[in-house]
Amino acid sequence: MIRQTILLFAQLLPMPALSATAEMQVPPLTLTFAADAKLCAAAAESIAVEPPCRAFDETACPRPDALKFRPVASDQYGYTEVALAPERSPAAYTILYLQRYRGDVTPRLMETWKVNSADLKKVFDTPPGLITFEDRYQFHPGPKSNLPSDTNAHALHDLLRASEKISNEWSATIDLLGDAHAVVRECQGSWRFGGYYRCARVSKLTFMKLAANGPAARSCEFTFIQKKNDLTSQSR
C-alpha cells in the first residue's frame, strides 16, 4: 500500500481552493473515555476553540487558520503529496501527512504518520535532495526532464515502514497541559466528486498522546450520542 501511494518526492503543489456550500456540524459530544479528567477537561475546551477542519474537506471551515500544516513534497502531477505538522519541542519525531488523489469518484487516500525526525532529515538530504515542482519544470522543462522521476520515493517508503501510522485522515496536533496530542476525527459523511470529503457531522474525536519513544496512547474520547427523541423523529 505504501509503495503504491508514494510515486515521487518533489515539492508540493498548492492545495486547490474549494468553494464549499455546506458547513460541518459539530454537535454536543459526550466524554466516553478519559485517562485523565483534568487533561480531558482541557481537551473539551479545545474543541470549542479549534474546529475539527481537515484538508480536502468539502464542507466549509469556520476558521481556515485551523488547518495547520506545511506542504513539503509532491509528485510531478500533484497526485501524491506530503505535508508536515508544525514542529514541536523536543523534535525527536515529526508528524507527517500523506495523501494521494485516486480519481474523481474514488476516495482520496489520507494518512497521518509519526516519523523519526532525524531519519526524515536523511530522506530530505538524500541526493538529489528535495526537488521542488517549480525547479523540475522551470529549470528542466517538460515531462521528459532529466531529473529522476522517483526522487527519494524508496527512502520515504522505507521510513514509513519503520514508523507509526496514527490515523487514516490528516489528524490535527495540539498541546494539552504540556503534552502533544493528535486529534483523530470521525465523521458521518461521504466522499464527493474530485476526491473531497463532506463531513456532514462529527461523530467522534479521539485525542492520542504522542511520545518520542513508544506508540501513541488514547487520552480522551468524545462521541456524539444520538438521543432517543432524535431517533424517534427520524423514523416517522
Cis amide linkage into residue 90, ω under 30° from 0: yes
Cell output for 4:
503504491
Q: What is d(CA 215, CA 207) in angstroms, rounded to the nearest whole number?
A: 13
Q: What is the reported pTM? A: 0.83
Task: Read off the C-alpha cell for 32.
Answer: 466516553
Cβ proximity of 205 and 47 under 8 Å: yes
Tell me which amino acid residue 78 is: G
How distant is the alpha carbon of residue 179 from its chain centre? 19
pLDDT per residue rounded down to tens, the chain (236 residues): 444 333 333 333 334 433 344 677 888 999 999 999 999 999 999 998 888 999 999 987 877 676 788 888 877 777 888 889 998 776 899 999 999 999 999 999 999 999 999 999 999 888 766 666 666 666 666 555 566 666 788 888 999 999 999 999 999 999 999 999 999 999 999 999 999 999 999 999 999 999 988 999 999 999 999 876 654 445 44
Cβ contact 12:83 at 8 Å: yes
Unique residue bearing C-alpha cell 485551523: 66
